[in-house]
Amino acid sequence: MPPLSGLKVIDLTRVLAGPFCTMMLGDMGADVVKVEEPGLGDESRGWAPFIGEQSSYYLSVNRNKRSVVLDLKTAEGAEALAALIDSADILVENFRPGSLSKLGFGYGEVAKTNPRLIYCSISGYGQNGPRAALPGYDVVLQGETGFMDATGAPDGEPMRAGVAITDYLAGLYAVQGILLALQDRHRSGLGQHVDIALFDSMLSVMRLPLGILLATGTAPRRVGNDHPSIAPYETLHTREGQIIIAVGNPRLWKQFCEAIERPDLMADLRFATNADRLAHRAALKAEIEAVFDRFTLQQLIDRLERHKVPCGRVRTIADAIAGPQVIARDMLVTLHDDTLGPVTNLGTPVKLSRTPAELSSPPPRLGEHTAEVLDEIDRQRRRVGRR
């Protein structure tokens, strides 16, 4: 059985960071009950493009869950949620800090009736600090953390990443925090509050540029696809497009020069050390790209791989998922939806040898499991009453 089998998760999240977190918990066996508001539910359900009547955005991060519709502003809805929380191991929410407390479902309130509950909050700036009350959106946080300042062409404007990297990082850190809290609960018997901020998550991966700033007092300039500290470690042009090479140490530099039949580059004082190659990067690129022009892209890949030089193509998204490695790693999975038919999506990158993930159920339609879950609550109440 997957390692989180037997754990119940109440999912009060929407859009991306929270749903991504709870999907990963569901993939590993947890019973994830996604609580949505009547009418629209998770707002990502309305975002194009659509597969049938379902949003492809919503479908991408909501498998292995059950959907329950509750109006938390009514006594009946609040009572049902309270019962769900009392029976849960984990609650994940991404409301603005303080919002759930106003409804009676903040950590302080629910921990009184379920002290074993692990309560994970995902927000833009965290539960404290002068910006805690502000909403959190990936693109805003990419700007606020300096990430955009480090991304883009040297002579261009700051650039955001092409995916919502801040949300995905926060979702990953949320899973990590939840698992750490579960480990502590095994010892203490008590849950705790896990506080995850998109701001912290994005800032945490800025270690290289921040390290340069702290060491030199000067922020590194944008270098596009170049590496600020290593050369050649970048995309380079060939006659058939771009190739990526990663020559990260002196041994690889020697192997690279041998692969492209330019051992003389090792004797060139401009390129003797990594620091020299950084200082003369433009000249080095010119020398390398002149050699690359003699080969097809595949010939270059073959040469570099024979000499064990890390390299790769700059692929389109379509090319990337069409490769045999994707199939070998089970990174595309197809689940059957009774309405939509086969729904294909990305698999899980976490491979466990003895208790692997089970990707068994497609993302639920809004309120699909409301009756089923409410019936479970009624049965639970009757059992408690008999005791």
| Long-range own/partner contacts, residues 157-160 (CB < 8 A, 24 or more apart) | 158/222
Assign residue 269 the CATH number of its domain. 3.30.1540.10
* Residue tagged active-site, from 11, 42, 138, 167: 167
Residue 328 in domain: no
CA separation (Å) from 181 to 105, 115, 117, 192?
Answer: 19, 13, 10, 7
Cα–Cα distance between 124 and 98 in angstroms, integer?
13
Q: Are 311 and 368 in the same domain?
A: no
Residue 40 lies in a domain: yes
Looking at 315, 332, 359, the residue that finishes a domain is 315
Asked if residue 78 belongs to a domain, the reply is: yes
- What letter does residue 308 receive in the DSSP assignment? T
**pLDDT per position as a tens digit, 359-374:** 999 999 999 999 999 9
Asked if residue 386 has pLDDT above 90, the reply is no
Q: What does the pLDDT read at residue 266?
A: 95
The question of whether 89 is a catalytic residue gets the answer: no
Residue 288 and residue 154 in one domain: no
**How far apart, in Å, do the first and last CA atoms of the chain sit?**
30
* Residue of 168, 203, 201 whose CA lies nearest to 18: 168
Whole-number percent of the chain with pLDDT over 90: 94
C-alpha 40/C-alpha 214 separation (Å) is 47
pLDDT of residue 322: 94
Place of tokens 């999975």: 333
pLDDT tens-digit map of 202-230: 999 999 999 999 999 998 899 999 998 99
pLDDT-derived band of residue 92, with 50, 70 and 90 as boundaries? very high
41 shares a domain with 160: yes
Residue 312's φ and ψ, nearest 5 degrees, are: -170, 165
pLDDT at 382: 82
pLDDT in tens, 40-77: 899 999 999 999 889 999 999 999 999 999 999 999 99
Distances (CA, A) of 244 to 142, 195, 225, 292: 25, 38, 9, 12
What pLDDT does 387 receive? 53
Whether residues 107 and 249 fall in one domain? no
Confidence at residue 384, expressed as pLDDT on a 0 to 100 scale: 72
Read off the CATH number of the domain in which 41 is found: 3.40.50.10540
- Reduced to 3 states (helix: H, G, I; strand: E, B; else coil), residue 57 is helix
AA letter at 315: R
Cα–Cα distance list, 69 to 126, 158, 181, 366 (Å): 27, 41, 28, 7
DSSP string, 238-293: ETTEEEEEE--SHHHHHHHHHHTT-THHHH-GGGSSHHHHHHTHHHHHHHHHHHHT
Q: Residue 126: give the domain boundaries.
A: 8-205+349-386
Same domain, 299 and 198: no
Q: In the chain, how many domains are there?
A: 2
151 and 47 in a common domain: yes
In three-state secondary structure terms, 68 is strand
Dump pLDDT digits (tens) for 97-155: 999 999 999 999 999 999 999 999 999 999 999 999 999 999 999 999 999 999 999 99
Q: At what angle do helices 250-259 and 297-306 cross, to 10 degrees?
A: 130
